[in-house]
Amino acid sequence: MAGRTQRELYAVIDGELSWSESELPERERTKHVHRLHPYLGKFPPQLAETLLRRSFGPGALVYDPFAGSGTTLVEATVQGMHAVGCDVSAFNCLLAGVKSAPPDVAAVQAELDRALALPPDPSARGEWLEQWFGPRALAELAGFRRALDGSPQRDVLAVVLSRAARSARRVPHHALDEARTPVTAPYWCHKHRRECRPVAEAARFLRRYAADTVRRLAEYAQLRRDVSAAMLHDDARSAPLPDGIDGVVTSPPYPGLIDYHEQHRYAYELLGLDDRRELELGAAALGATRRAIAAYCDGIVEALAHTRRHLRPSARVAIVVNDSRELYGDIVQRAGFRLESRTVRHVNRRTGRRAGEYFEDVLWLVARTSRARAAR
């Protein structure tokens, strides 16, 4: 994008894929189940909706090898498409599975009422948990957690518990995603513009998010079509995929940016989730050295090549990526695809301390023929 004037930039931007903050406010970007739980790095559901609508019809089977919080799966089910997602993060699979499954709203309400009625459990222990939660907050979270055992709505309860835990941690109100150490003393809060104290209890968050979850699931139930949706807790480089996939809509992780397991550490600690962080591609902990970038590229190539082997011959692949390092031209070729088109997308980032703007690319790929691959 360097060297272009603003007019030149906007001449090549697809207006249906770009929105300003005023055109698409947060309450619309997080419609129904898309806000069941905050998730750093989620792409707008309106973007997935447009990409799906442009290339696939009802009854199609759509795959997302880097499913994250399940945005593609949810939007596919609303449009009457079958969906499969894959992710190495157990928390991502939990969240995406809850968001894309057919909701039983009455059963969820009954189970949440039961969970909220349970008394606190002061016996909860754990070095990390006791460091990041006050005694009362941890006891209230642990009391709610007891309702998960044997519950037919266990996964929904787990998402509510995780969302409440995120808010009840000893972290500044303005840094729920960025905090690296707990705070135990009053601090200046950039969100409220006054001195705040660390959160000491969790019950009010459990009640608030329980009610919000029921409302959002009810909204989604009115929109979701009678189609299948499945989440694979697996490595996209080798996951057991169905054959005959009609297309892919995905946004891969960016190198050196986010640690997807550490982002939801509280959920892993409270729920005992399987930690597979060693399989993350482009994890922030690995940095952005030349060696790390090379490993990231190799991993994305493997994941896309594995996906290609399960696609229909006419399948199309949409990849949303900020390719500022210009990695994807080579990745696409090595994975056995041909770049059909590259569309610029303007990103007007959320308001607040992370406000700003940048540009992403939407890459449309098609698999190269066996003859063309053999020629290489």
pLDDT one-digit tens code per residue, 18-50: 776 667 777 777 899 999 999 987 788 999 999
Judge whether 199 lies within some domain. Answer: yes
Interval 332-357 mean pLDDT: 76
Match 């909860």 to its residue by tokens.
124
- Residue 54 belongs to domain with CATH number: 3.40.50.150
Domain check: are 48 and 131 in the same one?
Answer: no
The span from the CA of 281 to the CA of 362, in Å, is: 20
Interval 102-128 mean pLDDT: 97
Averaged confidence pLDDT in the chain: 90
Domain check: are 242 and 325 in the same one?
Answer: yes
Q: Which pLDDT value is given to residue 65?
A: 98
Judge whether 287 lies within some domain. Answer: yes
10 pLDDT higher than 70:
no
The DSSP symbol for 337 reads E
Domain check: are 257 and 369 in the same one?
Answer: yes
Instruction: Say what the pTM is.
Output: 0.92
Q: Which pLDDT value is given to residue 373?
A: 46
Domain check: are 203 and 259 in the same one?
Answer: no
Look at residues 309, 370, 367 and name the one whose alpha carbon lies nearest to residue 338. 367
Domain check: are 21 and 169 in the same one?
Answer: no
Q: Which pLDDT value is given to residue 13?
A: 72
Domain check: are 359 and 240 in the same one?
Answer: yes
Q: Which pLDDT value is given to residue 14?
A: 74
Judge whether 272 lies within some domain. Answer: no
SS3 355: coil
Domain check: are 324 and 246 in the same one?
Answer: yes
Total number of domains constituting the chain: 2
Domain check: are 65 and 133 in the same one?
Answer: no
Q: Percent of the chain beyond pLDDT 70?
A: 91
Q: Which pLDDT value is given to residue 348?
A: 64
The confidence band for 17, taking pLDDT boundaries of 50, 70 and 90, is: confident
Interval 84-95 mean pLDDT: 98
Q: Which residues pair with 87 in a beta bridge?
A: 233
Q: Percent of the chain beyond pLDDT 90?
A: 75
The confidence band for 352, taking pLDDT boundaries of 50, 70 and 90, is: very low
Interval 119-124 mean pLDDT: 96
Buried b / exposed e along 6-36 (16+ C-beta atoms within 10 A) = eeeeeeeeeeebbbeeeeeeeeebbebbbbb
Element (H, E) at 311: strand 311-321
Domain check: are 287 and 319 in the same one?
Answer: yes
Which of residues 163 and 25 earns the better pLDDT score? Answer: 163
Domain check: are 94 and 149 in the same one?
Answer: no
Lowest-pLDDT choice from 43-52, 118-127, 176-185, 299-308: 176-185
3-state secondary structure 166-205: HHHCCCCCCCCCCCCCCCCCCEEECCCCEEECCCCCCHHH
pLDDT digits (tens, 9 = 90+) for 258-289: 899 999 999 999 999 999 999 999 999 999 99
Interval 123-142 mean pLDDT: 96
374 pLDDT higher than 50:
no
Task: Please tell me which of 97-106, 166-175, 196-205 the model is most confident about, judged by mean pLDDT.
Answer: 97-106
319 pLDDT higher than 50:
yes
Choosing from 221, 240, 257, the residue where a domain stops is: 221
The confidence band for 327, taking pLDDT boundaries of 50, 70 and 90, is: very high
* Those residues with Cβ within 8 angstroms of residue 303's Cβ, 6 or more apart along the chain or in another chain: 65, 66, 236, 237, 252, 281
The span from the CA of 58 to the CA of 49, in Å, is: 13
Contact criterion met (CB below 8 Å) for 231 and 91: no
The span from the CA of 350 to the CA of 372, in Å, is: 43
Judge whether 1 lies within some domain. Answer: no
Domain check: are 248 and 365 in the same one?
Answer: yes
Judge whether 144 lies within some domain. Answer: yes
Which residue segment(s) compose the domain that 62 sits in?
Answer: 6-100+227-266+277-375
Q: Which pLDDT value is given to residue 376?
A: 43
Judge whether 368 lies within some domain. Answer: yes
Domain check: are 27 and 89 in the same one?
Answer: yes
Say how many C-beta atoms besides its own lie within 10 A of residue 171's C-beta.
22
Element (H, E) at 63: strand 61-64
Which class for 80: exposed (0-12), middle (13-18), buried (19 or more C-beta within 10 A)? Answer: middle
Judge whether 271 lies within some domain. Answer: no
